[in-house]
Amino acid sequence: MTKAEIVNKLPYSDPFLFVDQITEVSQNHIVGHYTFDESHDFYKGHFVNFPVTPGVILLECMMQIGLVSLGIYLLRDKNFDLKSNSTVAMVDNEARFYKPVFPNEKVTVVSDLEYFRFHKLKSKVKMLNEAEEVVCSGIFSGILKPGDE
């Protein structure tokens, strides 16, 4: 499975797709990128005259790359299609925020697998800004269940 195929299998589309590309992927690790375009509607009201990316959107970006994309890769040999016959749900997250992310800023999400068993995926995930500073980090877990099980 190619990195582009992983992105194409994500069950999201604009304006709620927060993955531009996957640059590394293995059984235990994934790295992806996203640029927060200034045209996103949430910037219009999230701090007037000083737009900042909402924390919940940062968490969503981290989940889309650090859990869902990694899960798609880990389940590549199964009948796993999030767009039609499989389920995914966030179970838990422990996140800490350190720096803001501004419009037009490119972020990098790095995720290291803790475990994947009984359909539960748990990873240590961090988001870096363009200066390679940690923006936020946490431990995330979710359920990824192929449709044939």
Q: Which of 29, 33, 40, 46 is catalytic?
A: 46
Residue 69 CA to residue 41 CA, distance in Å, equals 25
Cα separation of the two ends of the chain: 21
Amino acid in the structure at residue 71: G
Reported as type and span, the H/E element at residue 62 is: helix 55-63
Most distant pair of Cα atoms in the chain: their distance: 50
Residue 26 CB partners (closer than 8 Å, separation 6+): none
Residue 69 CA to residue 121 CA, distance in Å, equals 11
Residue 107 CA to residue 135 CA, distance in Å, equals 9
Q: Is 33 a catalytic residue?
A: no
| Active-site residue list | 46
